[in-house]
């Protein structure tokens, strides 16, 4: 007797946005309200999880500098949940497709024919630009942007080159601030280059610090929340 193929539920990779609960998309909130289970990153707030009161909640780590669930284990957990539940949400900070390890999760699910839908979210860079009222592009000053990080592969950090763009946005940049500044200075970037540090973007304890590249080279000290580093002439304080 042939064995029937397993039935799987549908998995949604949902972007939670930068942190504030009212910055998730309407579609993301709607799917959370229908979820049977939510596998969420460490930085997802309790207020965000409250949008899915009916769902089982499973924390899966992913916080820089702290112990997190290995990506392979998350992949297996997603597959196990797809066997047990109809609507599975993998809730990621920011946007799933930007530094969200979506590629590994998509491959694992697609290999078994599990249906996947991606719901985009507001990435932190755009929320930080709004919070600081600093456009990332500016006519005559900045027409290119690069998003980068070295935090996901610290053992190879010294091998990474800096992007050659007008505006640079470094995710998870707190620990790499000194190395980033040194590389940019070695490239010939001005010591006066404006830098903005945004910590806990969009949350009540958000902090914004303005400095120059020479200051960034001294490091940022101990930071409790996630840090976004914005670098470039477009970050110069606007005179209004």
* Domain ranges (residues) in the chain: 10-119, 124-235
Measure CA 98 to chain center: 6
215 included as an active-site residue: no
41 included as an active-site residue: yes
Q: Per mean pLDDT, which range of 53-62, 85-94, 199-208 is the poorest?
A: 53-62
- Report the alpha-carbon distance of residue 165 to residue 11 in Å, rounded: 36
The active-site residue, picked from 10, 36, 41, 83, is: 41
In CATH, which of 3.20.20.80, 3.40.1010.10, 3.40.50.2000, 3.30.420.40 is domain 10-119? 3.40.1010.10
Burial 85-106 (b: 16+ CB within 10 A, else e): bebbbbbbbbbbbbbbbbeebb
Predicted local distance difference test score (pLDDT) of residue 154: 46
Tell me whether domains 10-119 and 124-235 share a fold: no
CATH topology of domain 124-235: 3.30.950
Predicted local distance difference test score (pLDDT) of residue 1: 42
The active-site residue, picked from 22, 36, 62, 205, is: 62
Sequence-distant (≥ 6) Cβ neighbours of residue 26 within 8 angstroms? none
- Report the alpha-carbon distance of residue 94 to residue 120 in Å, rounded: 8
Beta bridge partners of 31: none
Measure CA 39 to chain center: 16
pLDDT of residue 2 exceeding 50, the answer is: no
pTM, two decimal places: 0.89
Mean pLDDT over all residues of the chain? Answer: 91
Q: How confident is the model at residue 156 (pLDDT cuts 50, 70, 90)?
A: low
pLDDT of residue 106 exceeding 50, the answer is: yes
């Amino acid at each position: 007797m042939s064995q029937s193929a397993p039935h799987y539920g549908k998995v949604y990779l949902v972007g939670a946005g930068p942190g504030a609960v009212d910055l998730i998309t309407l579609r993301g909130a709607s799917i959370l309200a229908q979820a049977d289970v939510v596998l969420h990153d460490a930085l997802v707030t309790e207020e965000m999880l409250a949008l899915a009161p009916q769902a089982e909640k499973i924390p899966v780590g992913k916080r820089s500098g702290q112990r997190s669930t290995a990506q392979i284990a998350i992949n297996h957990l997603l597959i196990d949940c797809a066997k047990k539940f109809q609507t599975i949400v993998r809730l990621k900070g920011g946007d799933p497709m930007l530094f969200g390890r979506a590629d590994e999760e998509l491959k694992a699910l697609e290999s078994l024919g599990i249906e996947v839908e991606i719901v985009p979210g507001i990435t932190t860079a755009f929320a930080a630009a709004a919070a600081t009222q600093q456009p990332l592009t500016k006519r005559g000053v900045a027409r290119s942007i690069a998003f980068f990080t070295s935090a996901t592969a610290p053992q190879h950090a010294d091998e990474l080159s800096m992007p050659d763009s007008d505006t640079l946005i470094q995710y998870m940049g707190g620990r790499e601030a000194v190395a980033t500044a040194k590389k940019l200075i070695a490239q010939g970037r001005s010591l006066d280059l404006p830098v903005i540090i945004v910590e806990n973007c969009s949350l009540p304890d958000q902090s914004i610090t303005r400095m120059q590249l020479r200051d960034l080279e001294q490091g940022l000290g101990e930071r409790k929340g996630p840090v976004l580093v914005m670098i470039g002439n477009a970050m110069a304080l606007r005179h209004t």
